[in-house]
Amino acid sequence: MAKPTKGKAPRRARRNISAGRAYVHASYNNTIVTITDMDGNSVAWSSGGTIGYKGSKKGTPYAAQLAAADAVKKAQTSFGMSAVDVIVRGSGSGREQAIRAIQASGIEVKSIMDDSPVPHNGCRPKKKFRA
């Protein structure tokens, strides 16, 4: 007895998201760029490791530039995103370059906000960070 063939699942309609947020998480070891809609649901993301870099190369400004451009390209092609608010977290070397790459990729940057976590003199830093 032959198996009944399953019908093709209906294609999900493409959500059109005109505006969203771009979160840039810049640590010393890597830079992660996540693009979300205005509700905070993730739309596209990329990082230094996703681009193909390994080890200390992930933390470079050039890797951050490629990661930001890749994330914006995914958001533009899949969801037609045209404007973002940029929210930057962390103090890594790729933060400035990631913002520049987002601006250069043809998406409108409405605002740039620094939301880096600042300790209220919490944990004692390692020896190399004290002095």
pLDDT for the residue 87: 97
Residue of 9, 124, 39, 57 whose CA lies nearest to 47: 57
Type of residue at 48:
G
Residue-range definition of the domain harbouring residue 108: 19-117
pTM of the model: 0.83
**Rounded-to-integer distance, Cα 46 and Cα 36, Å:** 12
**Rounded-to-integer distance, Cα 8 and Cα 2, Å:** 18
For 15-60, how does the pLDDT look when each residue is reduced to its tens digit (9 = 90+)? 788 999 999 999 999 999 999 999 999 999 999 999 999 999 999 9
In a domain? residue 33: yes
In a domain? residue 97: yes
In a domain? residue 3: no
pLDDT for the residue 32: 97
Lowest model confidence (mean pLDDT) among 6-10, 17-21, 50-54, 91-95: 6-10
CATH code, domain with 107:
3.30.420.80
Q: Which residues 6+ apart lie within 8 Å of 69 measured at CB?
A: 101, 102, 104, 105
pLDDT for the residue 29: 96
**Rounded-to-integer distance, Cα 42 and Cα 114, Å:** 19
In a domain? residue 10: no
Domains identified in the chain, total number: 1
pLDDT for the residue 14: 66
For 57-84, how does the pLDDT look when each residue is reduced to its tens digit (9 = 90+)? 999 999 999 999 999 999 999 999 999 9
In a domain? residue 23: yes
In a domain? residue 106: yes
The residue whose two tokens read 């409108």 is 108
In a domain? residue 6: no
